[in-house]
Amino acid sequence: MPRMNGASEDSPARAARALPWVAAAAWVSWQLMTAAEDVTWGWDESQHVQLPAARMALYLQAGELEGALDALHSCTQYPFVWPTLLGLAQALTGPSEVIARMMGVFLWGLTMLGSYKLTLAAGTRAGLEERAVGWAAWGTLALCAASPLAGAYAGTLFHAVPTACAVVWALVAWLRRDDEHPRRDLLAGCAFACVFFTKFNYGLLLGAALACDLALEWLQALRAGAGGVMPRRLARLAAAPLVSCLWWFFLPLPGGAELAVVHREAFLGFLAGNLETVYLSPARRLVEWGAGLHLQPRLLLFVIFGALCSLGTIGRPGARLLGAAALIPAAVLWSHPFHLDRFLVPFAPALWCLAALGFGSWASSSRVGRRAAPWVLLVCAVPLGGLDSRAMTEVAGVMPADGPGRAYVQSELERLSRLGGGRRRPTAGLATETAAAILDACAEEAQPSERVGWLGVSSELSPATLHLGLLERGGERERFLRDAHRDVDITFLGEDPGWTDEALAAWARDFDVLFMTDPPDLGARPARAFMRGYQERLLALGWRASDALGIYELQTPAGEPRVVQLYACRPTP
């Protein structure tokens, strides 16, 4: 009988623990069922993520570990954790865009679950009321589920969502450390290393937050006369990051010193990049924070209010960590010259945790809070058909007065607020049907093992997209592994390299067939118009162009569709 009673008493607790998993699974299922498949992958997704992932997958399927490690070490522009995870998954299924995009959706589901647990851990460490912490945890999960920006990028291969997942669980691991379990320090260090090698700059931001929390923890230990344990704790925390950085930047086994130089130069170049970019106005950034990251601007006001309420507990463990992990990245992202909306995703869960705990503490600590909290939540949740988003853009001066520009901004605001299907995937790729038609024509023209190049590769159709498309359409695996990671074009930059006819002829000899389009750049960018001269010079060197393999209409954000023709060139026998 006692066992039966115990089982009965444990059932509600088990059900309560399962509810966050059920909520996250429901969100993932909803996204997978309603995801739009209207745009294929853009340059960063295909070139820097799926290409090394596909190479790893094919090498692993063949049991060629050395090749898989070579593909891993090719991740120099962006680190290797996310491509490696995709490669491991696709080693079971084969390279697949569908599988790759599903992985991001699953990771945001894990981010939602991690945010729930992070709120519980931080609130408990801060000594807040248990009931308030429980409601705050559900509030954080709801904010994660109701973020259109996160939902949109979960279906892409950008690093924003994988980093958010790694950051949340790294913070959970950090909060679970204690003196009785030294191994948890090692686990927290491994979790931080995972964040760093998912995206370098986000790893540095998280490192700054963790360093602040550790410094205050050390100070408290000194005051309590327990400062002697901190050097050992620091050594355990730093072990995994130091070993992994030593391997990647100085001894990248099985590579050597030359590969280490490549890794260091890529890392330093990445940190120094984009500092000269024109500053995006504060008004535009405000719109992205209010009408993109959040379902509606009222939720941004709720988050700001909750964060302000949390200042009363910011000195406590848990709340202190959340404050550093939310406010340091927010300040950097707001002030950095280069700004894209996806930059907001990785540290948004920490901000939502902080705000939910602050609001929960306010709502449970005073009579005014208890009475007002339900009304505040109701005001935040009631849909107004985008009225507050349009009002915010009007006040910020972003909304044009009239004409096509105003209609375009209004349509973009409507797109930003969509949570499920119907939202265009935020990539720079071509429409799926157009990309498929171009790749079908290329695959029909090129033999399965032929060396393929492109005279005028565009942002909308990367070399990786070309090779992945040919592989999917019957191209030889050996051809993909031989050629896919090599340069197939003269330059991707909008600057003429100044090649002579001899240099052009030497480059062209490396290929059996060269594809080119009219206009040379699918986006019709004036800076890349010089590629037409190279196309004409190639024909003058004895290469012959086919008749048009296809004529395609490329949709533009505003205006008439752009007509593009595709050709194949081969050397004269």
Q: What is the pLDDT of residue 558?
A: 61
The predicted model gives 140-153 an average pLDDT of: 93
Report pLDDT for 380.
87
Q: For residue 4, what pLDDT band results from cuts at 50, 70 and 90?
A: very low
Note whether residue 239 is domain-resident: no
Tell me, yes or no, whether 561 lies in a domain: yes
The whole-number pLDDT of residue 279 equals 65
Share of the chain above pLDDT 90, in %: 62
Paired sense of beta strands 513-518 and 452-454, if any: parallel
Of residues 3 and 425, more confidently modeled:
425
Question: Quick one: tokens of 427?
Answer: 């990539």
Q: Confidence band (pLDDT; 50, 70, 90) for 355?
A: very high
Contact yes or no for 440/420 (Cβ under 8 A): no
Query: Rounded to the nearest 10 degrees, what angle do helices 97-125 and 319-335 cross at?
Result: 130
- Distance CA(340)–CA(342), nearest Å, equals 6
Q: How far, CA to CA in Å, does 553 sit from each of 423, 456, 514, 556? A: 21, 18, 21, 9
Instruction: Note whether residue 553 is domain-resident.
Output: yes
Tell whether the model's pLDDT for residue 361 goes beyond 70. Answer: yes
HEC string of 78-127? Answer: CCCHHHHHHHHHHHHHCCCHHHHHHHHHHHHHHHHHHHHHHHHHHHHHCC
pLDDT at 12: 66
Residue 278: the pLDDT is 63
Q: What is the largest CA-CA distance in the chain?
A: 93
Indicate whether 543 belongs to any domain.
yes
Strand positions, DSSP E, 203-334: none
Whether a cis peptide bond, with omega within 30° of 0, leads into 254 is yes
- Alpha-carbon radius of gyration of the chain: 26
Evaluate whether residue 476 is within a structural domain: yes
Domain-located, residue 567: yes
Output the pLDDT for position 3: 46
CA–CA separation, 451 and 483 (whole Å): 7
Q: Is pLDDT at 16 greater than 80 in this prediction? A: no
Residue 454 φ/ψ, nearest 5 degrees: -145, 120
- Choose the weakest-confidence range: 251-260, 267-276, 306-315, 493-502: 267-276
Q: In 3-state terms, what secondary structure has residue 554?
A: strand
pLDDT at 5: 47
Q: Please state whether the predicted TM-score (pTM) of the whole model is above 0.75.
A: yes
- Is there a contact between 452 and 444 (Cβ–Cβ < 8 Å)? no
Q: pLDDT at residue 396 above 80?
A: no
**Identity of residue 525:** R
Q: Is residue 284 part of a domain?
A: no
Distance CA 529, CA 531 (A): 5
Model confidence over 278-305: pLDDT tens digits?
667 888 888 888 888 998 889 999 999 9
pLDDT of residue 2: 45
What's the mean pLDDT when you consider all of the chain? 89
Whether residue 1 is predicted with pLDDT greater than 50 in this model: the reply is: no
Which residues lie closer than 8 Å to 9 by C-beta, 6 or more apart? none
Task: State the CATH number of the domain containing residue 445.
Answer: 3.40.50
pLDDT, average across residues 364-374: 87
Higher pLDDT, 42 or 240: 240
Identity of residue 80: F
Q: Which helix (H) or strand (E) holds 516?
A: strand 513-518
pLDDT in tens, 544-564: 999 999 999 887 766 678 899
The closest alpha carbon to 451, from 504, 512, 509, belongs to: 512
Q: Could you give the percent of the chain with pLDDT greater than 70?
A: 95
Tally of domains in the chain: 1
563 phi and psi angles, rounded to 5 deg: -95, 130
Beta strands 550-554 and 562-571 are antiparallel
Let me know: does 111 contact 164? Beta carbons within 8 Å. Answer: yes
Where would I find the beta strands (DSSP E) of 303-424? none
Per residue in 111-146, pLDDT tens? 999 999 999 999 999 999 998 999 999 999 999 999
Q: Indicate the pLDDT class of residue 276, thresholds 50, 70 and 90.
A: low
Predicted pLDDT at 24: 96
Q: Tell me the β-bridge partners of 39.
A: 431
Question: Between the ranges 84-88, 377-381, 556-560, where is the mean pLDDT highest?
Answer: 84-88
Kindly report the three-state secondary structure assignment for every residue of 384-401.
CCCHHHHHHHHHHCCCCC
Say if 360 falls within a structural domain.
no
CA 101 to chain centre: 11
Over residues 368-386, mean pLDDT: 86
What pLDDT does residue 422 have? 62
pLDDT at 556: 72
Q: Show the domain range for 511.
A: 432-571
